[in-house]
Amino acid sequence: LMTLWMAVFIVFNSTTKAQHPSRQLSIIPEPELVTVKPGSFGFNSATVILYDDRNTAMKFIGDQFSEKIKAYTGKKIPVKKITALPGKNQIVFKLSDQLQGIGAEGYMMDIGSGGIVITAKQPQGCFYGMQTLLQLLPVNPLEGANVPALHIQDQPRFSWRGAMLDVSRHFFTVKQVKQYIDFLASYKLNTFHWHLTDNQGWRIEIKKYPQLTSVGAWRKRSLIGHFEEQPERFDTLPHGGFYTQEQIRDIIAYAQGKYITVVPEIDLPGHCTSALAGYPELGCGEKPGPFEVKDKWGVFDDVYCAGKENTFKFLEDVFTEVAALFPGKVIHIGGDECRKTNWKTCTYCQARMKKEGLKDEHQLQGYFINRIAQVLKAKNKRVIGWDEILEGNRLTSDALVMSWRGTSGGVTAARKHHDVVMTPTTYLYLDYYQGSPELEPLTIDGFNTLERVYNFEPIPAALNADEVKYIKGIQGNIWTEFIPDFHHLQYMAFPRLSALAEVAWSTPEKKNWEKFKHKMETEYSRYEASGINYSKSAYQVSF
């Protein structure tokens, strides 16, 4: 240990070294413009970080950078506010309204032998500049803490750069959720979609309805493998957990410090058996239930009753707490895969349809979604939902649509002038196989290799210039039926999260699979250095 410490210390104290000539830049996602210059900047014991204190968020960026450098070199660099004109050996994070051609999330970076300046319109841009700067350092600190001289001008292609985590099928701890948020941040993603409720577990404390978590957060056992398998196999372990509102606030604050908006999802009118387990009266018919939190995966008939006023009262109460907890403007209300079986025979649902003049159960789903959307609108929130929220043709105009069944839902939505997030199963589902199924751990389905994720183009050719502006971005989804722990979660996320980031951030002109593959060689060693578990299937011969 002592020797290692000495080695790190020596490297840290060595003066600027010449850039290793063979070292290639490996910035993921690829920036808009990079101009490499001769020379390099070397970090040493006299280096200081300076931040622009006209915005209170800036100090924390300097602090985070200092922490990262400490983890890398073993030595902390002091963080101070900018007081005088720039001097030597400084890393400066500053704000400016004057930046030409740089949007709200963009930044400029200039590295010379005398110092580094990162400039942005907002702190968020400086944060992204910091992420780029970290990727300019050699992966191995023993190669010397130095970065090449260059000029970078950079900004994202899309404003919604997301990743979803399903904590219902398997629960992940606060610490793990924060680590997941760290992954997103290092790739300049800005949206964490938190799938908090589903048939197999309710994971958010709602003060008014304690049984949502005392009952709904726990299941007795879990299916192992696929639901079609006969006979079915189960483990014998109870599974569960939930986040208190205090823990959720903590996670939101953590994400805010990394410029990530948390979008909570409360899935409805289907995918809700865990809520029904606690409050069976919310199901269809006179005497619904009893219900148990599901121990199998799949889609079930148990859904919220669309006829009873009680259902809407309950959901309004839930969203009152959710809206107060999450500061973000957008709240996800699910909408996916709602079976209409029970609605067809439920006297309450049929009465509702008659009263409202609804012709079929799809229109009833539209009615349901619209009522919830109105509830959230009154709380000054915008709803987003899976593409089924288009059903029934009465969606409020400010709702966003998440296109998951391919991109066609997104095309329809954009034509109706809804904002769209593209998250098609066939490219961006990160719970699918990423290599030959014989060599990969069991997954739910599908096949999305690193290359396939990388080559996804979010703007459908079918859209005209006016419609294209409704495509706000993309998202990768990690459903966790087959992902029981965090180690496995990392394996499914990596390396595909790296590809996803480039699709979300970089323009098509800057994307290049061959170059990306090359950059991934460095990226894999970054995973190794930070102890990230990842799949090595990307370059297996196709089968």
Q: Terminus-to-terminus CA distance in the chain, angstroms? A: 46
**Of 404, 427, 456, 516, which one interacts with ligand TNX (CB under 6 A)?**
404
Rounded CA-CA distance 50/78 in Å is: 9
Other beta carbons within 10 angstroms of residue 110's beta carbon come to 17
- Can you say how many angstroms the Cα of residue 182 is from the centroid of all Cα atoms in its chain? 10
**CB 191 to ligand TNX: min, Å:** 16
**Beta-bridge partners for 97:** none
In whole angstroms, the minimum distance from the beta carbon of 395 to ligand TNX comes to: 16
**Measured distance CA(33)–CA(95) in Å, rounded:** 20
Shorter beta-carbon distance to ligand TNX: residue 227 or 513: 227
Which run of H or of E encompasses 59? helix 58-73
Q: Are the beta carbons of 121 and 96 closer than 8 angstroms?
A: yes
For ligand TNX, the closer CB: 294 or 308 = 294
How many residues lie near ligand TNX (CB under 6 A)? 9
Kindly state the smallest distance separating residue 443's Cβ from ligand TNX, in Å.
9
205 Rama sector, left if φ>0, alpha if ψ -120 to 50, beta otherwise: beta
389-394 contact pairs (CB < 8 A, 24+): 389/333, 389/335, 390/416, 390/418, 391/335, 391/362, 391/363, 391/365, 391/366, 392/358, 392/362, 392/363, 392/364, 392/365, 392/366, 392/367, 393/363, 393/366, 394/363, 394/366, 394/367, 394/370
Query: Based on CB atoms, which residue is closest to ligand TNX, 40 or 423?
Result: 423
Least Å distance between CB 168 and ligand TNX? 9
Smallest distance from ligand TNX to CB 444, Å: 5
Q: How far is the CB of 531 from ligand TNX (least distance, A)?
A: 27
CA 80/CA 321 separation, integer angstroms: 39
- φ, ψ at 151 (rounded to 5°): -125, 130
Would you call 62 helix, strand, or coil by DSSP? helix
Contact 160, 421 (CB under 8 A): yes
Residue closer to ligand TNX, measured from CB, 244 or 408 = 408
Nearer Cβ to ligand TNX (92/430)? 430
Q: Cβ(221)–Cβ(236) under 8 Å?
A: yes
Positive or negative: CA dihedral 406, 187, 105, 162: positive
Q: Is 39 left (phi over 0), alpha (psi -120 to 50) or beta?
A: left
For the bound state, the minimum distance from the C-beta of residue 391 to ligand TNX, rounded and expressed in Å, comes to 13
Closer residue to ligand TNX (CB): 211 or 425: 425
Give the shortest CB-498-to-ligand TNX separation in angstroms.
21
123 versus 410: smaller Cβ distance to ligand TNX: 410
Half-sphere exposure of 476 (CA within 13 A, CB side): 32
The alpha helices in 326-471, defined as continuous H runs, are 341-345, 347-356, 361-378, 408-415, 425-428, 450-454, 465-468
Question: 123 or 162, CB closer to ligand TNX?
Answer: 162
**Among residues 386, 505, 524, 534, the one that binds ligand TNX under rule CB under 6 A:** 386
Q: How far is the CB of 337 from ligand TNX (least distance, A)?
A: 5
Q: How far apart are CA 404 and CA 166, in angstroms?
A: 15
Q: Binders of ligand TNX among 135-194, rule CB under 6 A? A: none
Residue 267 CB, nearest approach to ligand TNX (Å)? 8
Residue 233, token pair as written in the block: 């196999």
Phi and psi for 420 in degrees, rounded to 5? -130, 140
Question: According to the binding rule CB under 6 A, does residue 482 interact with ligand TNX?
Answer: no
Residue 297, amino acid? W
Q: Which residues are identified as catalytic?
A: 337
Positive or negative torsion for Cα 193, 293, 446, 270:
negative
State which residue, 41 or 429, has the beta carbon closest to ligand TNX.
Answer: 429
- For residues 334-363, which are near ligand TNX according to CB under 6 A? 336-337
Under rule CB under 6 A, which residues in 415-444 are in contact with ligand TNX?
429, 431, 444
DSSP three-state, residue 403: strand
Task: Enumerate residues 259-318 that contact ligand TNX by CB under 6 A.
Answer: none
Q: Residues 104-143 vs ligand TNX: string with x where CB under 6 A?
A: ----------------------------------------
Which is nearer to ligand TNX, 65 or 291 (by Cβ)?
291
Residues that bind ligand TNX (CB under 6 A): 336-337, 386, 404, 429, 431, 444, 479, 481
